[in-house]
C-alpha cells in the first residue's frame, strides 16, 4: 500500500536539523555501525517473518521447497518486492543519505544545538 | 502476573481511529527496537558508570589531582572512552532507525491517515485551530528527538504525519513502558490525583502542551463531568489528538491551538492546570511565562502539577552528565537548561507561596496483565517511565 502523492522513501531517512553527533574517534566506524544496526534490524525482521511462516505451516499444512523454487512473481508481487527492496537499501544506507544531506544543508539547518538553544532561549 | 514477554509484542499496542496500519515487518521492526533499547538500557548503559569509576575518573584524578568538578568535565573525559562511544553511537543509531521506521509506516499511507483524521474532525466544536497562529520559534526551529520536521512541518493539507509518527513509534523508545495506548503518564497523573488530592473535584482542567493527548485522556476519563481544555502549538498534533480522543469516545476535551505563555482563558478559571513532559521542550523565557500563566489561570485553592524527569540540582556530576545525553545527542536542546532552572523560585515570583509547593513521584500505570510491572531497578536516565511530580496549590 502506498498512497503518498510523492516519493516518500527518501523522506523516511531525512536528517533532522542540528549537527549529528559522532562518538567514535574515526567517523567511518560510526558509519559502519549505523549501517550494521540497520542490517541487524532487518535480519530480526526476516527471522520474525520466518517464524510466522513456520508457525502457520505447522497449523495449516505445507509448502514444498519445489513450490518455492518454482515460484514466479506476478506483476503485483514484483511491484511489492521492488518497493521492499528500495526501502531496504534506503534504510541500510540512511547514514550515507544523512551525510550527503548535511553536506548540502543550508548552514542555518546544520546548527550547533547548544548555540541554537542560546539563540532561542530568549524567544 | 504478566504472561507476555517484556517488552511485549507490538501487536498488543492499542488501536484507535487514527492509528496507522502496520504490517508484519513494521511490527517486527518496532519489536526489534524495543528489544534493542531494553538491551542497551539493561546491559550496555550501566557499563558507563563502570568505565567512569574504574578508568575515566581515576585517570582524571591522576592528571588533575582532583575529581571532575562538574558534568562538563565528566563529559569531556567520557567522550574519549570507548564504552561511552559505543553505547552513545548505538543509542543514536537506534533513535534514527525508530524515526525512519515510523516515517515509513506513516508516509506511505499519509493520504488515508489525513483523511481519517479529517473525517473525525469535521465540523467539531472541540477542535479550535487558528490559521493565523505563529508557532514559537523554540518549537518551530527544533527537530525534537530527531524527528525530521519536528512537530510542525506539514507534508500535505490537514497533515497529521508528525503526530502519527510519534504515536506509532514511542513503543520502541520506551520498550512498551507507557502501556497499551502510550498513556501510562496520564494514568499515573489520574492515580496521583485520586490519592493525593481527592478533595479537589475539578470542574475545569487545563493541559498545557497537550501534544497528542496521551496524558490528557486518562485525566479526562477520571473526571467525566469536567470541562477540559488541552492547548498545543502544533496543528498536526491537535488534529491527531482530537481525532484520537473522538475515536476513543472521550468527548469532554476541547483542543485549542494556543501558546502556553498566553492562554486565551480568563483569570482564575481552572481548578487544575498540569503539564506532562512539556516544560523541557520550551525555552527558558517561555518556562517563566508559562509558570506565570499557571498562577493567573488557577482559582484560589486550585492545583498546578508538572511531570518531568528530576531536576539536576544536587545530583552527582556523573548522573548529571548521563541525564544531559538527550540534550546534546538526541535533539533536546532545552532539556538540560530546563532541568537546571530553579523552578520553585519561578513559581514564587509568579505569586505562589513556597509553603504550598510539593515534590512527589509518579510511575507509569499500565495494564499489568500485558505490559507487566515497571522494573524499578533499571535507570535509563531520562527515558524511564516514572517521573518527578512537582507543583503547588494556589
- For the record, the C-alpha cell of B253 comes out as 476535551
Average pLDDT over residues A74-78: 83
Domain with B197, as residue range(s), is 181-393
- For the record, the C-alpha cell of B22 comes out as 502496520
Question: What is the tens place of the pLDDT at every residue in B368-384?
Answer: 666 655 555 556 666 66
Residue B338 domain-assigned (yes or no): yes
pLDDT, greater one: B185 or A55: B185
CATH number at B347 reads 3.40.50.150
Substitution target from B33, B96, B162 for chain A, most A beta carbons within 10 A: B96
Determine, for residues A3 and B111 on separate chains, whether the beta-carbon distance falls below 8 Å: yes
Residue B131 domain-assigned (yes or no): no
The CB density around residue B134, as the number of other CB atoms within 10 Å, is 9
What ipTM score was computed for the predicted complex, to two decimals?
0.77
- In percent, the amount of chain A with pLDDT more than 90 equals 29
End position of a domain, from candidates B115, B148, B173 = B173
B-chain residues within 8 Å CB-CB of A114? 328, 333
- For the record, the C-alpha cell of B387 comes out as 517521573
Exposure string of A4-15, with b = 16+ CB inside 10 Å and e = fewer, is: beeebbebbbbb
Pair (B212, B187) in one structural domain: yes
- For the record, the C-alpha cell of A105 comes out as 544543508
- The beta strand positions in chain B, using DSSP E, are 127-128, 204-208, 227-232, 253-257, 270-276, 298-308, 357-363, 386-393
Please state, in angstroms and rounded to a whole number, the distance separating the CA atoms of residues B257 and B323: 31
Pair (B121, B235) in one structural domain: no
Pair (B386, B266) in one structural domain: yes
End position of a domain, from candidates B173, B198, B231 = B173
Tell me what pLDDT residue A62 has. Answer: 81
**Comparing C-alpha atoms, which of B370, B364, B367, B366 is closest to residue B10?**
B370
Determine, for residues B31 and A44 on separate chains, whether the beta-carbon distance falls below 8 Å: yes
Residue B382 in contact with residue B335, Cβ under 8 Å?
yes
Substitution target from A2, A10, A12 for chain B, most B beta carbons within 10 A: A12
Total of domains in chain B = 2
Instruction: Give B196's contacts (C-beta < 8 A, 6+ positions apart).
Output: B360
3-class state of residue B352 by DSSP? coil
Pair (B143, B264) in one structural domain: no
Question: What is the tens place of the pLDDT at every residue in B161-180?
Answer: 999 999 999 999 888 788 88
Pair (B106, B188) in one structural domain: no
Residue A35 near chain B (CB below 8 Å): no
Pair (B150, B281) in one structural domain: no
Pair (B116, B187) in one structural domain: no
Residue A56 near chain B (CB below 8 Å): no
Residue B4 domain-assigned (yes or no): no
Residue B85 domain-assigned (yes or no): yes
Pair (B196, B142) in one structural domain: no
Pair (B28, B90) in one structural domain: yes
Tell me what pLDDT residue B378 has. Answer: 59
Cα-Cα-Cα-Cα torsion B207, B212, B216, B221, nearest 10 degrees, comes to 150
Tell me what pLDDT residue B101 has. Answer: 97
Tell me what pLDDT residue B143 has. Answer: 96
Tell me what pLDDT residue B5 has. Answer: 80
Average pLDDT over residues A93-109: 82
Determine, for residues A20 and B92 on separate chains, whether the beta-carbon distance falls below 8 Å: yes
Report the predicted TM-score, pTM, of the whole model to 2 decimal places. 0.90
Tell me what pLDDT residue B197 has. Answer: 95
Pair (B14, B76) in one structural domain: yes
Residue B2 domain-assigned (yes or no): no
Pair (B216, B340) in one structural domain: yes
Pair (B195, B84) in one structural domain: no
- B189: part of which helix (H) or strand (E)? helix B184-196
Tell me what pLDDT residue A84 has. Answer: 84
User: What is the chain A residue with the closest CA to B82?
Assistant: A24
- Hey, which residues 77-106 in chain A have their CB within 8 Å of chain B? 87, 91, 94-95, 98
B-chain residues within 8 Å CB-CB of A6? 155
Tell me what pLDDT residue B374 has. Answer: 53
Please state, in angstroms and rounded to a whole number, the distance separating the CA atoms of residues B175 and B378: 12
Give yes or no for residue B278 having a pLDDT over 60.
Answer: yes
pLDDT-derived band at B363 (thresholds 50, 70, 90) equals confident
Tell me what pLDDT residue B42 has. Answer: 87
Amino acid at each position: 500500500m502506498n498512497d503518498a502523492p510523492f516519493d516518500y522513501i527518501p523522506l523516511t531517512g531525512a536528517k533532522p536539523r542540528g549537527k549529528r553527533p559522532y562518538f567514535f574517534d574515526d567517523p567511518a566506524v560510526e558509519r559502519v555501525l549505523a549501517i550494521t544496526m540497520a542490517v541487524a534490524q532487518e535480519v530480526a525482521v526476516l527471522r520474525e517473518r520466518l517464524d510466522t511462516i513456520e508457525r502457520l505451516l505447522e497449523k495449516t499444512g505445507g509448502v514444498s521447497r519445489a513450490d518455492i523454487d518454482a515460484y514466479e512473481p506476478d506483476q503485483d508481487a514484483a511491484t511489492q518486492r521492488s518497493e521492499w527492496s528500495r526501502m531496504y537499501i534506503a534504510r541500510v544506507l540512511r547514514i550515507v543519505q544523512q551525510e550527503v544531506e548535511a553536506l548540502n544543508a543550508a548552514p542555518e539547518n546544520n546548527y550547533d544545538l547548544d548555540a541554537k538553544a542560546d539563540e532561542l532561549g530568549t524567544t | 502476573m504478566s504472561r507476555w514477554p517484556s517488552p511485549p509484542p507490538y501487536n498488543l499496542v492499542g488501536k484507535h481511529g487514527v492509528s496507522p496500519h502496520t504490517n508484519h515487518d513494521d511490527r517486527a521492526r518496532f519489536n526489534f527496537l524495543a528489544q534493542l533499547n531494553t538491551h542497551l538500557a539493561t546491559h550496555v548503559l550501566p557499563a558507563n558508570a563502570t568505565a567512569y569509576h574504574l578508568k575515566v575518573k581515576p585517570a582524571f584524578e591522576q592528571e588533575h589531582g582532583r575529581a571532575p568538578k562538574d558534568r562538563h568535565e565528566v563529559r569531556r573525559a567520557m567522550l574519549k572512552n570507548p564504552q561511552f562511544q559505543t553505547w552513545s553511537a548505538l543509542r543514536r543509531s537506534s533513535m534514527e532507525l525508530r524515526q525512519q521506521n515510523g516515517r515509513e509506516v506513516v508516509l506511505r499511507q499519509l493520504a488515508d491517515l489525513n483523511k481519517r483524521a479529517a473525517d473525525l474532525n469535521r465540523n467539531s466544536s472541540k477542535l479550535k485551530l487558528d490559521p493565523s497562529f505563529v508557532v514559537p520559534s523554540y518549537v518551530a526551529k527544533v527537530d525534537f528527538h530527531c524527528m525530521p520536521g519536528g512537530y510542525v512541518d506539514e507534508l500535505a493539507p490537514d497533515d497529521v504525519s508528525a503526530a502519527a509518527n510519534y504515536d506509532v513509534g514511542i513503543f520502541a523508545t520506551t520498550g512498551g513502558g507507557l502501556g497499551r495506548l502510550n498513556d501510562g503518564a496520564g494514568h499515573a497523573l489520574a492515580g496521583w490525583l485520586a490519592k493525593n488530592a481527592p478533595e479537589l473535584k475539578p470542574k475545569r482542567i487545563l493541559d498545557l502542551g497537550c501534544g497528542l493527548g496521551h496524558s490528557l485522556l486518562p485525566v479526562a476519563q477520571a473526571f467525566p463531568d469536567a470541562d477540559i481544555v488541552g492547548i498545543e502549538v502544533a496543528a498536526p498534533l491537535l488534529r491527531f489528538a482530537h481525532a484520537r480522543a473522538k475515536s476513543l469516545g472521550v468527548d469532554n476535551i476541547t483542543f485549542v491551538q494556543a501558546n502556553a505563555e498566553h492562554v486565551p482563558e480568563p483569570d482564575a478559571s481552572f481548578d487544575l492546570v498540569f503539564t506532562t513532559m512539556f516544560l523541557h521542550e520550551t525555552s527558558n523565557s517561555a518556562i517563566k511565562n508559562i509558570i506565570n500563566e499557571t498562577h493567573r489561570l488557577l482559582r484560589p485553592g486550585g492545583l498546578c502539577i508538572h511531570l518531568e524527569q528530576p531536576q539536576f540540582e544536587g545530583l552527582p556530576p556523573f548522573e548529571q552528565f548521563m541525564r544531559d545525553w538527550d540534550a546534546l545527542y538526541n535533539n533536546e536542546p532545552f532539556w538540560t537548561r530546563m532541568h537546571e532552572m530553579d523552578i520553585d523560585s519561578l513559581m514564587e515570583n509568579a505569586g505562589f507561596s513556597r509553603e504550598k509547593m510539593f515534590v512527589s513521584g509518579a510511575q507509569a500505570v499500565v495494564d499489568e496483565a500485558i505490559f507487566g510491572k515497571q522494573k524499578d531497578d533499571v535507570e535509563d536516565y531520562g527515558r524511564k517511565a516514572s517521573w518527578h511530580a512537582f507543583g503547588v496549590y494556589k
